[in-house]
Amino acid sequence: MNVKAKRRVDYSALVDFIQQENVRKTNELVKEMIPKLVEYLRVTVAATEDVARECVQQAFLNVYERIVEDKLNDPKSLLSYMMMTARNEFFNQYRKNGRLVNNEYVTSSVSEPAEQVDRLIDRERMELLFECIEELDDDSQMFILYFINHPDATTKEASGYFELSESNVRTKKYRITHQLHALFKMKMAEQGR
**Whether residue 193 has pLDDT greater than 50:** yes
Q: How many CB atoms lie within 10 A of CB 132?
A: 19
pLDDT by residue (tens digit) across 129-183? 777 887 888 788 888 877 876 777 889 988 888 889 999 999 999 999 999 889 8
- What type of residue sits at position 56? V
Domain boundaries, the chain: 9-108, 111-193
Number of H helices, E strands in the chain: 9, 0
Residue 56 neighbours by CB under 8 Å, 6+ apart: 34, 37, 38, 41, 86, 89
Q: 61-65 long-range CB contacts below 8 Å, 24 or more apart?
A: 62/89, 64/18
Burial (Cβ within 10 Å: 0-12, 13-18, ≥19) of residue 75 = middle
> What interhelical angle do 78-97 and 49-68 show, nearest 10?
120
Fold annotation for 111-193: Arc Repressor Mutant, subunit A (1.10.10)
Looking at residue 174, what is its pLDDT?
93
- Single-letter residue type at 144: I
Closest CA to 40 of 170, 110, 125, 130: 130
- Over residues 71-121, the pLDDT tens digits come to 877 777 788 788 888 888 888 777 666 544 443 443 333 445 555 555 556
